[in-house]
Amino acid sequence: MNTTMLTVAGPASRPRSLSLLSGAFALFNGLRVVAYLPTLMAIQGSGHADQHSLFTWLTFLGANLTMALWLYEQNGRRMNRAVAVNAFNALMCGAIAVSIVWLRWVQSTTSLSAFL
């Protein structure tokens, strides 16, 4: 077996594959952040949040927030792309959860008091 060929192919291809993987990460996670906007606009546009699960969005918020914090700690308390993406995803999930709460409880209470 030719060990020289194995050692040359492994390390030489790793930086290129890591670069491609980093690009794919940035692309798809950037799209994921944008993908929250139609849900947020649908909730606000319809004025009804009963078709959206608050539990689900709070779970997504918790998952993204804890992942951002875990990555931050694992990275020596330094920010990087992965931390920022998960933190922004947590922010967007939080915005959707707040919209759901607003439409279900705050706005409905305000509307009810206008009739009284």
Look at residue 81 and tell me whether its pLDDT is greater than 90: no
The pLDDT, as a whole number, for residue 115 is: 46
pLDDT in tens, 3-56: 555 444 555 567 889 889 988 988 898 898 899 999 999 999 999 898 999 999
Residues 6+ apart with CB under 8 A from 95: 36, 40
